[in-house]
Amino acid sequence: MTAMVHGSAPARDVEPVLPKWWRTIDKLTMSCILILFGVGLLLGFAASPPLAEKNGFGPFHYVERQAFFGGVALTAMFITSMMSPTLVRRLAVIGFAVALLAVLALPVLGTDFGKGAVRWYSLGFASIQPSEFLKPGFVVVAAWLLAAAQEINGPPGRLWSFFLTVFIVFILALQPDFGQASLILFAWGVMYFVAGAPILLLVGMAGMVILAGTFAYNNSEHFARRIDGFLNPDIDPTTQMGYATKAIREGGFLGVGVGEGEVKWSLPDAHTDFIIAVAAEEYGLVLVLIILALFTLIVLRSFYRLVKERDPFIRLAGTGLAAMFCVQALINMGVAVRLLPAKGMTLPFVSYGGSSLIAGGIAVGMLLAFTRTRPQGQIGDILRGHMR
């Protein structure tokens, strides 16, 4: 039978790693990621000098750190994207186990840096947020379980993945970190749907999420405060949301000009959670639309390539990673324009942050590895093979 590769020539086993990687990688997605990182550095020059001055550092202290962490993230992305799906799965299982143990140890060894949620390990010169590394590992492990359930006499992978998801969401909610918990739950829900979940089950799960949210609102001051602030029709102009709303409104279509924005002097998280407000104020709606287009192109391009994939594990894992990447970006930008309650979530590859950048590089590297072109076989050949 003639093997067919969508968009490229069939791979040769004797082909060296780098030429094979370059020929099979999704160059468009990789280019969009590099552009997003460049936009993040550009916005870092605008957003971080006030914070650096406040903390007694040089004006470009945080930009230099972002460039360093970004270099590590891109290196991790390139290395991971060169791996085979099997190797990615094996390393993801190990990484998931390590990250899960780190998350479980947070109540004893972690710190909250005065933000009310114990999410980090302080190393003195830097901090690590283990939940960022937990996410890509979880997606791959859950996809592995869901794919195994589709095999003849396979394990009850759907049930195992469900219990694993509930356990992780529970421990993240205890931190509390409802943003990361919602990402985990959403990614699993998308994979479960693609794997063939009954609609009634998904509706039941949505009801359970509503009940859990009601319980959290009544029992978590941290959660209730954010929901109340979101539902309040009056925005306090001295809050982060007030400053961000004003910045976005004043930016208009073309922005107030490079370096002329004022929001960075008022927002303590201007370089992280509210980086899109800095972009909107100084560069206007134009840059915001460019950022939106880049994220949209990455996700749609990934789905386009994954829909051709015959391997259930690769299809499910890639779909979960792409969905999580997309929703994290939507949550970050939705919070900035007050469409969603505050979550404390970074904009992938644009916001400042060591853990989020490096974990994002690993996650996108996995996605690039799963969306590489590989011999699939024509669908007619596959059907004839099953009929024999």
* Residue ranges per structural domain of the chain: 17-99+193-209+224-378
Q: Say how far residue 242 (Cα) sits from the centre of its chain.
A: 26
pLDDT at 8: 47
Q: Tokens 């390539």 belong to which residue?
A: 305
**85-104 vs 130-148: helix axis angle to the nearest 10?**
130
204: left (phi > 0), else alpha (psi -120 to 50), else beta?
alpha
Q: Say how far residue 39 (Cα) sits from the centre of its chain.
A: 17
pLDDT at 32: 96
The SS3 assignment for 120 reads strand
Report yes or no: 93 and 141 within 8 Å, Cβ to Cβ: yes
- Model pTM? 0.87
**Is the bond preceding residue 176 a cis peptide, omega within 30 degrees?**
yes
For 99, 111, 128, 269, 335, the CA distances from 121, given in Å and listed in that order, are: 12, 6, 5, 19, 26
- As a whole number of angstroms, the distance between CA 344 and CA 360 comes to 16
Phi first, then psi, for residue 127 (nearest 5°) are: -135, 155
- pLDDT, block means (10 residues), the chain with 388 residues: 44 74 94 95 87 85 92 96 96 96 91 78 85 96 94 89 93 86 92 84 77 74 69 66 82 82 79 88 93 96 93 96 94 85 84 92 97 68 46
DSSP character for 155?
A: -
Instruction: Give the angle subtended at the CA of 162 by the CAs of 368 and 139, to the nearest 5°.
Output: 15
What is the longest distance spanned by two Cα atoms in the chain?
73
pLDDT at 47: 84
Q: Tokens 């690993």 belong to which residue?
A: 362
Report yes or no: 253 and 284 within 8 Å, Cβ to Cβ: yes
pLDDT at 248: 85
User: CB 129: neighbour CB atoms within 10 A?
Assistant: 22
User: Which residues, 6+ apart, have CB-to-CB distance to 14 below 8 Å?
Assistant: none
Q: How many residues does the chain have?
A: 388
